[in-house]
Structure 1
Amino acid sequence: MNQNDRTNQLEQQISSINSEYVRSVEKKKKRQQAQRVRLYRRLSVFGLLAIAVLGFLVHSLVSSQQTLANKKATHVEVEQVLTETLDHKESLELEIAKLNDDEYIGKLLRKDYFLSEENELIFTLPKDKEEDKSGE
């Protein structure tokens, strides 16, 4: 017998050792490999879900920060407008109080409309040259 014949016989003998134990070991290895594949699949799906949730949370946080910054800017603007409005209200209330005074109304009429009291003469003075230059 030559070498090739011996190799063929050995291969037949090896392949013929197909006992229950060998088949159970092969099945166990296949099951473990299948479990490992399923585990990797589950872990990858879980990882993708975790990344998606994390992305959503980060997006929500950034959006909330931008909204808060816009609200703060609007709040500062509204406070400035409120301060200006309160100042204007105070000046108008002061003007109302003055307009309730007859002497102030008399002075205002004499000044703006050149009205005079009885036996009073009104003289208009020429304006200074400096006032004329600033008015031009």
Structure 2
Amino acid sequence: MNVRKIENDYVRTADRQLEKKVKKKIGLRRRLTAFFIIASVVLVCLMGMILNQNERLAEKEAQKEKMLAELEEVKKQQEQLKLQIKKLEDDEYIAKLARKEYFLSDKGEIIFTIPKKDQEKKDKDEKSAEEEEKHKENSDK
């Protein structure tokens, strides 16, 4: 069957109106798609910035904790230095320090030096190394 379309003014205006509606729907879809793409890009950029700022904030917090610990350490050192200054103002302490560090003595004192544990270990290690060398030399002959 071959059906022919009626071609009069009413049908043509109805076709034009239908074409306009279709074009409006296509335009609306394109605008909405463009809007959602732009909104998505902006959202991704904002999320990236937030994550970057959170990382920087965490780094700054860690740095702050480190600096606070260092500050406490410096305050302890400062207190020790103040105490040392007070001690150095005392003549008896200076005399005791001079006797200890520079092996100075009071009248009638005799100074004995006792080797430290590290020095004793070094001496023992050296002696054992020498004995091993002698033993090797004897065994080689």
Is this a same-fold pair by TM over 0.5?
A: yes
Give the distance between the partners of 1:69 and 1:78, measured in 2 at CA.
14
Give the distance between the partners of 1:62 and 1:72, measured in 2 at CA.
15
- The answer as to whether partners of 2:98 and 2:104 remain within 8 angstroms in 1 is yes
% identical aligned pairs: 32
Equivalent in 75, 86, 102 of residue 75 of structure 2: 86
Per the alignment, residue 29 of structure 1 pairs with 18
Where does structure 2 lack aligned partners over 5 or more consecutive residues? 124-141
* Structure possessing the higher radius of gyration over alpha carbons: 1
Any residues of structure 2 matched to 1:9-20 within 5 Å, and which? Answer: 14-15=4-5, 17-20=6-9
Equivalent in 123, 126, 134 of residue 110 of structure 2: 123
Per the alignment, residue 55 of structure 2 pairs with 66
Give the distance between the partners of 1:123 and 1:67, measured in 2 at CA.
64
- Mapped pair 1:99 → 2:82: no
- Mapped pair 1:109 → 2:95: no
Where does structure 1 lack aligned partners over 5 or more consecutive residues? 1-6
Query: 1:85-121: per-residue Cα shift (whole Å, max 9, x none)?
Result: 111111111100000111111111222223344xx12
Give the aligned CA root-mean-square deviation in angstroms. Answer: 2.3
Give the distance between the partners of 1:56 and 1:92, measured in 2 at CA.
53
- The answer as to whether partners of 2:87 and 2:93 remain within 8 angstroms in 1 is yes
1:73/1:124 Cα in 2 relative to 1: closer, same or farther (>3 Å)?
same
Displacement, 1:56? Answer: 1.1
Give the distance between the partners of 2:11 and 2:78, measured in 1 at CA.
99
Query: 1:36-59: per-residue Cα shift (whole Å, max 9, x none)?
Result: 110011001101111011011101
